[in-house]
Amino acid sequence: MKCFLFSLFIIPIVLFGDDDRVKGKYCIIPEARRLVIGMTTGSAFNVAANTTISQAGFPDINLKAKWATEAFKMPIYWDLLAEYSERRFQVGVHFMHHKLVLTNEHALLEKISITHGYNIFNLYGGYRFLANSKHYSFYGLIGVGVAFSHPEGKVRGQNISRLEGVPLLSGNYDMSYPNFELAIHKDWMLNKKLAVRSAFKTTYFNGKIETRNGYIDLNTLSFHVNLGLSYQIQ
């Protein structure tokens, strides 16, 4: 939480500040075609919401779930991106390693989390606002996609990790969809190719994540702040 609040203080300076001192003549040309890849890290605040944890043969557990991100505990939070821009428009794809760690204390629940992670894969489109400004322009984006979710922990002493699902590096994942996203981002050019990337993102999902012997009925609204690097391939 402290990391998230610190990011809220720092990133608006990067996103909306006058960056002429850094990028100088290396401004983004609105009409140029750009193919960019990048990677950021960051953190997220997850809004507490009503959640149901279901286990076959037992009554449902209903609670107002409070999810932490624990962004800088292994495995850390990261976001990979690739995007294409032409004139004021942009399309892209990103793969975010988000995490949800339940902080509620409950006698029947033990270390419940969706980590390793709650992996969001979204396609997005955007529009560049204030494109004629060398210093204050930014992209507004809307996206939709899926999440590959890896539930962990124990309910009533029984492990909830999936035995079947989408096989990835850390085990079997549930594919949950749709995930929705709104975002704004800005590149702060360091030279003609390399830039500091800052972003604010809001993601939302409402649906069931299957577990070994039940499901988690998840309703999650998350506010993300990201900072990293982007590189212009062409």
| Phi, psi for residue 47 in degrees, rounded to 5 | -70, 130
Question: Does 1 or 40 have the greater pLDDT score?
Answer: 40
User: Could you give the CA distance from residue 156 to residue 110 in angstroms, rounded to a whole number?
Assistant: 8
Each residue's pLDDT tens digit, 147-203: 988 899 999 999 998 766 666 666 678 888 899 999 999 888 888 889 999 999 999
Count of CB atoms situated within 10 Å of the CB of 133: 12
Each residue's pLDDT tens digit, 74-95: 889 999 999 999 888 999 999 9
Question: Does 1 or 39 have the greater pLDDT score?
Answer: 39
Which distant-in-sequence residues (6+ apart) come within 8 Å of 78 by Cβ? 39, 40, 41, 96, 97
Is the separation of the CB atoms in 151 and 178 below 8 Å? Answer: no
Bridge partners (DSSP) of residue 54 are 215
Is the separation of the CB atoms in 115 and 96 below 8 Å? Answer: no
Q: By 3-state DSSP, what share of the chain in percent is helix, strand and coil, each rounded to 5?
A: 10, 65, 30
Whose CA is closest to 205, among 64, 46, 53? 46
Sketch out the chain's domains with CATH numbers: 2-232 (2.40.160.20)
